[in-house]
Copies of this chain bind each other. A is one copy, B any other.
Amino acid sequence: MPLDAPAGARADLPAGVNPILVEVTRGPIIESRHRGSAAIVDIAGKVVRSWGDHATAVFPRSAIKPLQAISLVESGAAERFGLGDAEIALACASHGGEKRHTETVTAWLAKAGLAGDDLKCGTHWPMHDETMRAMAAAGQAPCPIHNNCSGKHCGFLATAVHMGEPTKGYIRFEHPVQQRILGVLEAMCGIGLGKAPRGIDGCSIPTIAIPLENMAYGMARFGAPDDLPEARAAACRRISQAVAAEPFMVAGSGRYCSAVMAVTGRSVLLKTGAEGVFCASLPEYGLGVALKCDDGATRASEIMMSAVLRHIGVLTEEMEAKLARRIVTPLENRNGIHVGDVRPTAAFSE
A: residues with CB less than 8 A from B are: 12-14, 17, 24, 26-29, 31-35, 57-59, 120-125, 129, 132-134, 136-137, 139, 147, 197-204, 207, 209, 275-276, 293-297, 300, 333-337, 339-340
Contacts and interface: CB of A to CB of B under 8 A. Distances in A.
Given A24-B296, A139-B137, A121 B334 contact: yes
A26 B334 contact: no
27 contacts: A13-B17, A17-B17, A24-B296, A26-B59, A27-B197, A27-B207, A28-B197, A29-B57, A29-B209, A31-B199, A32-B275, A32-B276, A32-B295, A33-B295, A35-B35, A122-B333, A124-B334, A132-B133, A199-B339, A200-B333, A200-B339, A202-B333, A202-B339, A204-B333, A204-B334, A204-B335, A204-B337
A29 B334 contact: no
B334 A202 contact: yes
Given A124-B334, A136-B137, A26 B207 contact: yes
Contact of A297 (B26, B137, B297, B334): B297
Contacts of A132: 133
Contact of A295 (B12, B34, B125, B337): B34
The number of times this chain is found in the oligomer is 2
Contacts of A198: 27-28
Nearest to A149: B334
A275 B31 contact: yes
Please give me the 7 A-B residue pairs with the lowest Cβ-Cβ distance, nearest first. Answer: A122-B334, A27-B199, A32-B296, A133-B136, A26-B199, A122-B335, A295-B295
A31 B58 contact: yes
A214 B297 CA distance: 29
Contact of A29 (B59, B133, B147, B300): B59
Given A26-B59, A59-B26, A333 B295 contact: no
A29 B60 CA distance: 13
Given A24-B275, A26-B207, A295-B297, 8 more contacts: A17-B17, A26-B199, A31-B275, A32-B294, A33-B295, A133-B133, A133-B136, A201-B333
A147 to B, nearest CB: 6
A166 to B, nearest CB: 19
A294 B17 CA distance: 14
A150 to B, nearest CB: 11
A306 B27 CA distance: 30
A320 B48 CA distance: 50
Contacts of A337: 200, 204
Contacts of A29: 57-59, 197, 199, 209
A57 B294 CA distance: 24
Nearest to A20: B294
A27 B17 CA distance: 22
A331 to B, nearest CB: 9
Which of A133, A198, A335 has its CB near the most chain B CB atoms (within 10 A)? Answer: A335
A348 B337 CA distance: 39
Contacts of A124: 334
Contacts of A134: 136
